[in-house]
Amino acid sequence: MLRRRPWLFALVLVACVGCDHATKQVAEQWLAGRDVLSLLGGFVQLQLVANPGAFLSLGAGLPEALRHFLLIGLVPLALALVTLLLWRAPGASRTQVLALGLVAGGGLANWLDRVFGGGAVTDFVSLGVGALRTGIFNVADVAIVAGLALLLRGAKSGAGGPTEPGSDHSSPRASTWGSP
């Protein structure tokens, strides 16, 4: 990884955690004890919920011990893996670093919320028209999805090698994630 890339990763990660925490605090202050707040003709709905599951409540019905193991125990390992993947990819592009920062930042934000929020994360936004709606989500979820979309877009287009001037695109390490 080039010298400035760790700073980009750290900046994106910290920004994700900070934005997620701030929006959750505002949501808790504005939405606690209220019914659904509809905006833009109902396209955006704000509703405060405690989600014991993962993204869009996946796994909410799992036994508590298994859910705790998966969502509190394994998440730090997954975040460490993302960081290690980045460190071992010296040819990572800015887009890849940004994408991994979004995934790690969103994951860390939800993990911190879960650890300090009694095992659940605060979700408060849904989008849709009429009965066709997304699940309720938060800013950390958006960061994770955006990061994954960037990674998939790069993989689909074959992008992902170094983008610095003078970089060697023919290097086998240039676009190989996790190579020693």
**141 an active-site residue?**
yes
What is the C-alpha to C-alpha distance for residues 155 and 85, in angstroms, rounded to an integer?
15
Residue 92's SS3 state is coil
Neighbours of 88 (CB within 10 A): 15
**35 an active-site residue?**
no
Let me know the angle formed at the C-alpha of 153 by 86 and 129, rounded to the nearest 5 degrees.
120
The beta-strand segments (E) located in 58-180 are 121-129, 132-133
Active-site position among 35, 113, 123, 168? 123
Active-site position among 20, 113, 141, 168? 141
The beta-strand segments (E) located in the chain are 37-39, 44-51, 121-129, 132-133
Residue 127's SS3 state is strand
What is the C-alpha to C-alpha distance for residues 127 and 7, in angstroms, rounded to an integer?
33
Task: Give the residue numbers marked as catalytic.
Answer: 123, 141
